[in-house]
Amino acid sequence: MHHLKIFIELTRLNKPIGFMLLFWPCSWGLAYAYSFHLDLNLFLYYLILFFLGSVLMRSAGCIFNDIVDKDFDKKVRRTKDRPIAAGKITLKRSFTYVLILCIIAFLILLQFNLFTIILGMSSMLLAFSYPFMKRITYWPQLFLGITFNWGIIMAWAATNSNITHEIVILYISAIFWTLGYDTIYGTQDMSDDELIGLKSTSIKFKKNIKYFVSSSYLISFLLIAYLFKTKIGLNIFSLILLIFLISLVYQLLQFEKNNPKKCLKMFKLNNFTGLTLFFGILSINF
């Protein structure tokens, strides 16, 4: 039981917001493919595979991130009690967990076509590079966006064996969405990160943080509106798209950079935001 508790803490399985934010972009890509007459059974099957893959890869990513950041985590109030930083688990066992999770994720990846397998393997390079970004650039959130939303491209490729400019537009919109919500998330650690020399968009734009997040969310929404411009009208899709927009605006109105609890609450609201757009894209079919 003790080892299981540590494993859950290590993989953040007790904090599902992480793997859900990884999964929603995958679901958007699949829902978009479904709107082009993808078979319903295949859609549901792929949705399950991408969900499992999201849980596994996010879990592996969390452990690898904690391995890389163990010395920094000890100096940050929010992370000092994480299992590796607190010495509750050895690095050897942690690496073993990463390996096992990646092997299981690879077995899931093998259920797709060759193009998707290649895309999936390349995403692992992105995922395992991410923890180093905050040491060298003020834009780790942008790199996270590129990595975290790769599932959109993979989901489309799994069903169509190609990449279109439309799916790239959806991918870019998701990157700006991530840029916004992860900047909100990063405000929790700004003071500690500055002291230990880590970088983030939260720190870079701390004097104009609401403007930066607003700009990111606006670009994300405009790209989505452009992509689905022919679907906008007096219909269920437009209503859901409006709810999606309201959820973004609500975050902007509510979050305060000096209030970590509120920042975390608004960050978590993006689970609803992601779900909303998923239902919105699905509604095109009805």
CB 138 within 8 A of CB 193: no
Least confident of 50-59, 133-142, 172-181, 191-200: 191-200
For 208-234, the pLDDT digits (tens) are 999 999 999 999 999 999 999 999 999
Residue 86 tokens read as 């607190």
15-27 pLDDT tens trace: 999 999 999 999 9
- Looking at residue 75, its pLDDT comes to 80
Of residues 159 and 37, more confidence is placed in: 159
> What percent of the chain is predicted at pLDDT more than 90?
78
Residue recorded with tokens 């990595």: 147
Per-residue pLDDT, 125:
85
3-state secondary structure (DSSP) of residue 2: helix
Determine the average pLDDT of the residues in 45-52. 97
pLDDT of amino acid 81:
85
* Positive or negative: CA dihedral 51, 54, 55, 56: positive
Is the Cβ–Cβ distance between 227 and 170 less than 8 Å?
Answer: yes
CB 217 within 8 A of CB 255: no
| Res 267: pLDDT | 96
Q: What pLDDT digit, counting tens, does each position of 90-133 carry? A: 999 999 999 999 999 999 999 999 999 999 999 888 888 888 89
Q: Which pair of structure tokens corresponds to residue 67?
A: 């391995």
Q: Is the pTM of this model over 0.75?
A: yes
**Mean predicted confidence (pLDDT) in 139-146:** 94
Domain architecture of the chain: domains with CATH: 2-285 (1.10.357.140)
Residue 270 has pLDDT above 80, yes or no: yes
Concatenated DSSP letters of 12-33:
TTT-THHHHHHHHHHHHHHHHH
